[in-house]
Structure formats: C-alpha cells, structure tokens
Amino acid sequence: MPQLDTRESASPPLTIADAARTEAATVLARVGSSAGGLSQAEAEERLATLGPNAVRTHEASGWSVLGRQFRSPILILLLITAGLSLFLGDATNSIVIGVILLVSVGLGFSNEFRAERAAEALHSRVTHTAVVLRDGTASEVNVTALVPGDVVQLGLGAIIPADLRLLTVKDLLCDESILTGESLPVAKNPAPVAGGAALGDLTSCLFMGTVIQAGSCTGVVVATGGRAEFGRIALGLGERQPQTEFQLGLKRFSFLLLQVAIGLTSLIFVANLLLQRPLIESLLFSLAIAVGITPQLLPAVVSTSLATGTRQLAKRKVLVKRLVCIEDLGDMDILVTDKTGTLTEGRISFTAALPVDGGVSADQLFTLGLLATEADYTEAKRSVVGQNPLDAALWESPDAAAFEPARFERLDVIDFDHQRRRTSVLVRDAGAPARIITKGSPEDVLALCGATPAAVQALLDEQFDAGSRVVAVATRDAAGMEDMSPADEKDLELAGFLVFLDKPKANARESLDRLEALGITVKIATGDNAKVAERVCDELGVLSGGTITGAEAEAMSDPELSAAAREASIFARVSPEQKARIIRLLRQSGGAVGFMGDGVNDALALHQADIGISVDSATDVAKDAADVVLLDKDLGVLADGVMEGRRIFANTIKYVLMGTSSNFGNMFSAATASVVLSFLPMLPGQILLNNLLYDTGQLAIPGDRVDKEQLLAPAHWNISFIRRFMFLFGPISSVFDFATFALMLFVFDAVPGEFRAGWFIESIATQTLIIFAIRTRRVPFLRSRPSLGLLCASLGVVALGVFLPLSPLAGVLGFDPLPVPFFLALLGMTVVYLVLVEIAKQWFFSRAAQQPAVPVLPRVRRRGKDHHVARRAARFSTTTAATAHARRAPLAPRRGRPGRGKRNRVQGPSHPRNS
C-alpha cells in the first residue's frame, strides 16, 4: 500500500479544495490509501506522526488551574498589599499577608483542580465513534483516532468526523449551517468540482462538524483536527466555553461586590488622609478592607459544590458535559420530552398486520413491511442494530423467520425523512415486474392512495384509540423502472396497516409526580398520532391541558402558538422545525425550558432549549446537542438531577448571603472605627486572616443539607435580593461590633493590641456562627439540622479564632492577651446577636419583596453560533499533549471563505428521523 509522506521535505499536504476537484481514485492514491482503507498498523503510525483528530482538551491541567488563581483580582490585591508592606519595612505584616495568600491559593487550587478532575472523568464516559475500514473490515473507532487516509462509512444523522473526499453516495444531503450559516441542506455527489470553487460549492467533499440530513456515503479522510475547516474555526474560538445563565449571574454578583468595595475603600482612604494619617498606612488599610469585603473563596466554594454534585449525579446515572450546566438543570421549570422510552417502555413490539385489500393476506402484508426497510435484508435478518425501532420490531418478530431475502432484488430505495414521513423501495420479486412499496405514517401514505373508504378510516381510528402505533403500507406496479424519485410516490394502493405496541412504563406515573412536586410542567412532543399520545397520558392518569398537532401549529402565528403552547400538554405529529419553534416560544414566555430527545430530528430543539437532555443510546447529533446525558432514559433519573442542581444552587447562595452580609458589616465597622479611633482597629494582615479563617470554614457548605422547600421550585440569581439582605444583616453585625468596641474601650480600657484581639475573636465568632441561622428559613437546629461537616468546620474555626490571640503567635500577629471577663461578655453578646439575627430573618422573609415574583420581562437566553461551535467541538477532544501535537502539525493553506459563491442546493428535509 502506498504510504502517506509526512516528512518536512514532502510535497504540501493535500487541501480539501484540491481534493474536491480531483478524481476520487487519485485522492486515494495521494493520501496513501485504497477503497479498503488503511491497515491498522499504518493508521497507528499516522496517528503517532500527525496527532489525534482533536480541537479541544479535556485533561485537567494543574498549571492552568493555578494560573487562574493568580488572575483573581482579590489575590492581586493581596500581592500588592504584601509587596507594599515589605517595601515599607513592615516584614511581619508582609509575611502574614504572604502566608494568607499561599493558603488562599492552595485552598482554591485544590478545590478547583478536584472539580476539573471530575469534569475530565465525566468527559471520558461520553464517547464518540465513527465506522471506518481498517484492513478491509468495518470497525468502530473513536473519532479522535481518525487519520488522513481512513475510509469512513456514514449514515443518516452522523456528524462528519473529519474533512472527507466522497467516494460513494446515496441520496446524500448535508447540513453545513455550522460552517456556512446556510439553513438549506446541500446535495452531495462524488463528481469533481470546477477549480476555484468556494468552500460552500465543494459538493464532492464533506466537512468536519456538519451533519448528514439524508442518505448515506463513504469517504476518505483528507484533513483532521486543526487542519480541517471546522477545526480552524474551533481553534480560533479558543478553549473558553460560552457562559451559562449561572455564570452570568455570578458575574453580575461580582460586579455588585466591586461597586461596594470601590465605594467603601475610597471613602476610607479619603477619610484617613483628611485625618492626616500616614499615606501608605491608609492605603494598606484600604486595600485590606477591599479584600476583606469580598468572599475570597467563592470560586472554590462554587467549584466544590459543582464537583460534589457531579459525583452525586454520576452515581444516579446522569452525566453533565460541563459542570456549570448542573445549575441550569436545577433552573428548569418546563420539560418538553418525547414519550417513547420516557412515558413508555421504549421496547416496541409488532402485534398485528391488518390487510384492507382483499388480495393481500396478513402474511403478505407483513412481508411488504419487511421489504420497505432501508437495511440490507440479509443483514437485517441477522441483526437489527442501527435500525429505527419500528423496523427493528418487524425483524425481531417470529414471523420474520420465514422471510427469504434471496427471492427479492431491491433496485432502489428512498430513505425516510421527516418531511415525507415514509420510506419507499423499488423491489423485484423472483423475476416478476418491479413494484414500489411505500411504508410510513398513515396520514401521509393515505394521501398518496386517493379517497379513503369509511371502513378503512374506522379501522385506523380504532387502533389509534387503543393507543397502538400504526404504519400504513401501500404498493403499485412499476414495470420497467430501474430507479425512482419522490415524484414516483403516487397512485398507490393501500395494502393495510402494521400495528405496534409500546406499553406505558410502570414507574412513569411516579416519575411525573416527582417532577410535578419539583414545580416542573411536563409537555409531550411526539411524531406519533395525537390519539396515541393522548391514550398513553390517559393510561398514566395524566391530566392533559390539550393537544396541538403539527398542522395546527403551522397555521398559528407566533403570539397565538405561544399562548396555546403554555396551556397544551401534547404536541403531536410535529416536525423538527416545529419542535424548535415551540421550545423557542416557551422560553420567550419566561420559562426555563428543558428538552429531552434522542433522535436526529431532536437536534434543533435541543439547541434551542435552556438545557438540552439526551441519553447515552441517542444518535450522535442528539448527544452532541445536549448539555446532559442520561445513562437511563428515565424521568425519575432526571428528577434526581434537577434536585441536585437546586441543592447546589441553594448551597452556593448560602455562602453568598453569609459572606456578603457579615463581610460588609465587619468592613463597615472597621471603616467607621478607623475614622473615630486614634489607631487602626485591625491591622491589614489581621483583617485578611479573619476573612481567610471564616471562608475556610465555609468550604463545608457544599455538603450541607438543604431544606425540602428550597428544592420545590427553581431559584435564580437575584442581585436585588442579595443587596437587600446585605444591607439588613450587615448593619446588625456592625451594631455588635460597635458594642464590642465600647466594651474594649470603656470597660476594659484596652490598648491597641488588646482591642484588636477582642474584635478579632468577636468577629470570628459572630460571622461564623451566623451560618446556622442564615443557612435555613426555618428555626435552626430544631427544624433544620446542618450537616456534621459544616457543624465541625464552623466550631473548629471559632475555636481557632479564639486560640490565635492567646497562642505563641499572638505577638507576631499583633495581638495582646485579653482578660477573662471579656470571654464571658463575648458569650452573652454572641447569644443576643444570634437571637436578633433570627428575629430579623423571620421579618425579612415574611415581607412581600422577598416572595418570588413574575418577571416583568421574559428571561430569554440567546445562543449564537459560537455556542453551537463550542458544543460540537467538544466531541473532538483529547489530552492536552496530544492536542498540542495536532496543533503543531502542518496546516493546509486555506482556500475560499465559507458561505461565499453560488451553491448547488436541493430543498430537502431539515432533520431526518431518529435512526
């Protein structure tokens, strides 16, 4: 076999534009391959030389996580503060700040790195494969293992794994919108194109990341990884993923903190200068206040929460592609799902053949159904892998054993698609004249058969009313025909109906009840007949809000469909575009919409949803479009995921509320005292140490218990709520700080070292113990128990805070010993403080302003092309080192620009069926 020369001195790599205008046989020779593909040994050698077919990395990198820690504005402030202290000769303060900096970085790094390792493990559990010819035999390999010269076999719904030169095609249509922006599918064929054609006109090639919408093909890989056209775009976007709603909320919260920190520190700095305090001392103190008011370990707490949730979800058979998508899962309040496998068992069985033509027996009708399948008859009889569920049910039926594939010669086939909703074959039986057999949805097949007799319609309605899935079969003579097109599907004669049954799931009712208890409205979107869907819902005892068919939806304007969709429970006989439109309108009405689907026809809706959900057995394009992959297609598993998402959000908000309120109160107290007192109430290093101890105790929050009522409805970032909470509970904290100041100055006549030690201990005790009141809206301990980890961590931090001013390190930290009566007074003040906080909490949450409100404007998330590119690029992902190798490999010169020039368009189905 000829070898692909990859040496530096070799001729330039074959570009996709060159391959498009070159004969297929010549391209095979240029890439050192043949129609039978590469040998396994040659493929492995090329993989080692050229690197993997990857444009993303998913290996957890310790260095990148560490780098992110030092990009934090908070840690940069710490570095500046430590540097200024050292420059001014205050080595002790500089060392204290330096130690705090190292501890902060260490805590943040360890938690975030664990979260990245969890994400890496998740990614490894979702695999993407392609069928290639190696040593002349078809086998499945990971898409990242493809190399130039591999011959790939692709079918309906496949995502193209690399840039390919077509060798053979069968009615091939490809969706290239992710590259070109064109919504219409493109017809493909192996014929070379004219020289100078733009990228969009290279009809003899397929491009990485695009989707087969109809037909099948084989092609030889010309370019992989960053050398492919899609790879260039993905690499240009970098590794950064588009932000989720949760991340955007976190950004808005950070902006709030920035505003408060800038305002407060500016006032402190100016006030201290007006009081003629030393410039550098005033600057250091102001910087410490700015650092102290921010929850330093918020990223670590969020990462820990997400990593903990990810592990819990994985145990429940829920895989989340990106950790932050867990928050979006908990945010969901509307779920649109198909019924097969969710409400029903998903095991479709053939039950009966009902002829309507006196000249056709039940056995003959069954044989016609077998003939009108896309799979090779001999192969289908041995294995139903890859077939659609209805065809698979036919071939698995005992009646299929009598079928003799050698009797029949299939001359042509028109594959199923969601526009026609039928499959047609041109078949010759043992030398007899050819005939067309069409099998598909009864409504579409009957439309090709002329007037429908009343008895036939009554028979069909009876099956639909019984909840059966029905496929119609029709035929006509086609003597002399050797091939056919959709235009030949006409003047058919109905042969009868094939009846299938998919029983409702035994636990579906329980799962629906759980989702309802979580405040999630479930709606069904199905390609089935409306009566079948309604029957399933009726058997499960589901109260339907009404049914909208695809034809009815098509006749409605957007406002009309939006209003109707909010009330309806079932969307029947809907096309892929109609599903996506319904999802879009539900989102625009203000709901956070999840969509669950597993077929090619579900990809559009998955991309439109706030949270796309698929299953491990789904088609490539569905898994690619989803944010969450279920290992079990079960609504109960999904309910577990929603609860976990809400639990994580609830614990994150606990930390935010506690951190902002207590930090704001303490820093406001420090700011006021710095103006009133003749000395600084706390040294910069003491402020930072106080904040670090408090934050460290809160790292146990991700494992805390969450009250049941907090899981019953989705929660969202509410900056106004956080601001109101901060401005109520912060001043309460300050009141007790001022009481401590008065105690130290007027009762104990404290010197600066004693004053700082007393306030340090009081501050740690109050702001740490308040966690038990703020973590729940219930009465703490009596009606809501914290987790053991949080209890131990909080009490441990208080104990350490009391010990430090009494320890041998007290002198280094700037503390003086305290009299024993202070601790008795501290105990009394702490008890009074917690009681007052509990009273304020009950008042705060009883007010109308804190009740959930309907948003004035609908909350609509917009997802652009970058989002879709990033999600699709995730399937071409490998380790850091391997991807770096791929990026260093020589790139082919770029030719043309996507979307320019005329295109050979063929109007076809937007999204074919679930294969």
Two tokens at 507?
């636990």
CA 31 vs CA 5, 138, 192, 282, 544: distances in Å: 8, 19, 17, 70, 59
- Reported in sequence order, the residue ranges of 545-692 that DSSP labels E, i.e. its strands, are 547-549, 570-572, 593-596, 611-615, 628-630
**Cα gap 754→719, rounded to integer Å:** 38
| Cα separation, 136 vs 39, whole angstroms | 8
For residue 275, the one-letter residue type is L
Cα–Cα dist 600/915, whole Å: 7
Q: Nearest-CA neighbor of 648 among 714, 590, 587?
A: 714
Closest CA to 136 of 160, 157, 153: 153
The Cα 910–Cα 887 span in angstroms is 34
Three-class SS of residue 464? helix
Instruction: State both tokens at 568.
Output: 């309806």
In whole angstroms, give the CA distance from residue 134 to residue 505.
42
Distance (Å, rounded) from C-alpha 177 to C-alpha 910?
A: 11
The continuous run of DSSP H or E covering 145 comes out as none
Pairwise CA distance, residues 29 & 273, whole Å:
80
Catalytic center residues:
338
Q: Which residues pair with 469 in a beta bridge?
A: 500
Q: Which residue has the tokens 């499960």?
A: 540
- Structural tokens at position 168: 């053979």
Cβ count within 10 A of residue 845: 11
Alpha carbon distances (Å) from 711 to 698, 807, 827: 21, 44, 35
Environment class of residue 466 by beta-carbon count within 10 Å: exposed (0-12), middle (13-18) or buried (19+)? middle
First to last CA, the chain: 35
Extract the tokens encoding 754: 């004693």
CA-nearest of 161, 173, 238 to 207 is: 161
137 to each of 37, 151, 156, 224, 859, how far by Cα in Å? 8, 10, 21, 21, 52
Helix (H, G, I), strand (E, B) or coil at 849: helix
The rounded distance, in Å, linking the Cα atoms of 224 and 150 is: 11
SS3 at position 533? helix
